[in-house]
Amino acid sequence: MEVLTSLGHGFAVAFAPLNLFWCFVGVFLGTVVGVLPGLGPAATIAMLLPLTFSMPPTTAVIMLAGIYYGAKYGGSTTAILLNVPGESASVVTCLDGYQMARKGRAGAALGIAAISSFIAGTVGVIGLMLLAPPLAKFGLSFSSPEYFALMAMGLAMVVLLAGASMVKALLAMLVGLWIASMGIDLFSDASRFTFGQSELLDGVDFVIVAIGVFALGEVFGNMEKRGEGTMLPVPKGLRNLLPTMAELKACRFAFLNGSIIGFIIGVLPGAGSTVASFISYGIEKAVSKHPEKFGTGVPEGVAAPEGANNSETGGAMVPLLTLGIPGSGTTAILLAAFILWGLRPGPLMIQDNPELFWGLIASMYVGNIMLLVLNLPLIPLFAQILKLREYFLYPIIFGISIVGVYSVSGSLFDCWLLAVFGLLGYVMRRLDYPSAPLILGLVLGDSMERALRQSLMMSQGDLGILVSRPISAVMLLLTIALLFLPLFRKANAWRIKAIEENG
């Protein structure tokens, strides 16, 4: 009951015209930077920070948070339409979203992404509202061994992302792990695989690899088939622009899965939304009745990762607001902003600043509705881009990709790197190597290695630390189960075949 009263006060704050207006500005800007690849919410918030100094702190927080969760909505648009991941968390959306677009279901894919984002975003806020203090404690019980187990579980997803050949998937994953190891090693300050280039000291930005391998690789691959008329089928009529009831029904579990997985992983300061989207996609595929169809454009394959990366926002707000611990680049800048206004997120924030805490939560409910209303009518508009002939479309994709990469670092070296990874993506496509395992290795490699080395430093070199802690032991068991899943499926298929033959 107390929660409801507080929430009521929160809504009173959120519905103040000034706050409502800036909430809209925030989610709108968020959608825009989400749609544009490269420029992410972190840089946007940092650049707009000075503008907010003249606002009341609550209003400013409402707007900046709007940018943060709004960007997660926008990220799926270019992923689905052009195979260009708008931000890191939407890489997984490319897998099935772009395939749906190729089948003429672009509108449906965008619709499912928006609806899933809305549901999961709202679930994330509910979680934040009801569970924040106890969950924050749970987050703290996670340390390096648990993160290692979580990352191992994520990496085991490779068996689910593999296409026809497991060997090729594993090779792609190893390349991803290798790229992840480039740059300065945190523990020894030694540089690895930099080839004497100071530009490589910070490692290779994940966005460059993702855009290169997915977007440019796809364009190169399509250009080769010149004359075959590869123009994508354009959805016609309102009915084709929205998901059908059957598609929505297929996503029932994915909505729930994405919401819960995203929120839990969001609460952990060391994981991140890309990991959340990969894991929820993997779970969706693992429990699906038709796992073989994943990657060919199934709506669940869009709903699960999109949901996860939106509900992750609510989760990430838990350690930020209740402990003052940021889990990602964006939340770190939000924390810096809080401090600039003299607000101190931490254990005392809910008591000391109830107006801000509850106002923010209420504004996130409102913002999620705004985003849904904002995004649904834009779908037909965005889908029009597929009407473009390829000689228009491809240069546009190239342009967006190059500008996106350049806007992250302002470095021409990174643009060359983009070209290299574009070619890599093309070669992988030609030789039938799946690209998702490469990205998976790249996303997890760095944090997995770090977690392992931290664990071993904690235990003075004893590997037992990984299995003697209950949470990490359970996750490692799940990892092993996951690795055996394909074998089990194969055995099952044989068994059924044998029964059929006998019968």
Q: Which stretch binds another protein (CB under 8 A): 103-111, 159-167, 184-192, 478-486?
A: 184-192
E strand intervals along 97-200: 183-184, 191-192
Nearest to 95 by CA among 378, 285, 225: 285
Q: Closest Cα to residue 284, out of 301, 266, 259, 267? A: 301
Q: For residue 369, state whether it binds another protein (rule: CB under 8 A).
A: no
Tokens, residue 436: 């998702």
Q: Which of 262, 319, 422, 425 is close enough to bind another protein by CB under 8 A?
A: 319
Q: Is the Cβ–Cβ distance between 367 and 314 less than 8 Å?
A: no
Task: Decide: is 116 part of the binding site for another protein (CB under 8 A).
Answer: no
Specify the residue for token string 């074998």: 487
Q: Considering beta carbons, is residue 435 or 454 the nearer one to another protein? A: 454
Q: For residues 54-113, which are near another protein according to CB under 8 A?
A: 54
Segment lying near another protein (by CB under 8 A), choices 214-222, 331-339, 367-375, 381-389: 331-339
Neighbours of 348 (CB within 10 A): 11
In angstroms, give the least distance from the CB of 396 to another protein: 27
Residue pair 234/265 in contact by the 8 Å Cβ criterion: no
The residue range among 16-24, 208-216, 284-292, 408-416 that interacts with another protein, by the rule CB under 8 A, is 408-416
143 is a site residue for another protein (CB under 8 A): yes
* Nearest-10 crossing angle of helices 354-383, 57-82: 30
**Per-residue contact flags (x/-) with another protein for residues 449 to 488, judged by CB under 8 A:** -x---x--xx-x----------------------------
Verify binding: residue 196, another protein, rule CB under 8 A. Answer: yes
Q: Among the candidate windows 5-13, 29-37, 43-51, 104-112, which touches another protein by CB under 8 A?
A: 43-51
Q: Rule CB under 8 A: say whether 194 interacts with another protein.
A: yes
How do strand 191-192 and strand 183-184 relate by DSSP bridges?
A: antiparallel
- Of 447, 434, 404, 373, nearest to 150 (Cα)? 447
Q: Compute the least distance from the CB of residue 88 to another protein, in Å.
A: 15
Say how far apart CA 61 and CA 331 lie, in whole Å: 12
Question: Minimal distance in Å, beta carbon 244 to another protein?
Answer: 43
Give the span between the Cα atoms of 83 and 96, in whole angstroms: 10
Q: Is 327 in the site for another protein (CB under 8 A)?
A: yes
CA atoms within 13 A on the CB side of 237: 3
Tell me if 46 contacts another protein by CB under 8 A: yes
Interface stretch with another protein, choices 118-126, 287-295, 321-329, 365-373 (CB under 8 A): 321-329
Distance CA 146, CA 466 (A): 8
> Which C-beta is closer to another protein: that of 17 or that of 342?
342
The first and second tokens of residue 331, run together, are 């939340």
- Residue 339, interface with another protein (CB under 8 A)? yes
229 binds another protein (CB under 8 A): no
Ranges within 409-438 binding another protein (CB under 8 A): 409-411
| Most distant pair of Cα atoms in the chain: their distance | 79
**With respect to another protein, which residue has the nearer C-beta, 339 or 496?**
339
CA quadruple 202, 203, 207, 209: dihedral, nearest 10: 160
Q: Please choose, out of 115-123, 214-222, 292-300, 326-334, the segment that lies near another protein by the rule CB under 8 A.
A: 326-334
Binding mask 246-275 for another protein (x = CB under 8 A): -----------------------xx-----
Report the distance separating Cα 72 and Cα 40, nearest Å.
Answer: 10
Q: Tokens for 480?
A: 């092993």
Residues in touch with another protein (CB under 8 A): 42-43, 45-47, 49-50, 53-54, 139-144, 183-184, 186-191, 194, 196-202, 269-270, 319, 323-327, 329, 331-333, 335-336, 339-342, 344-349, 409-411, 450, 454, 457-458, 460
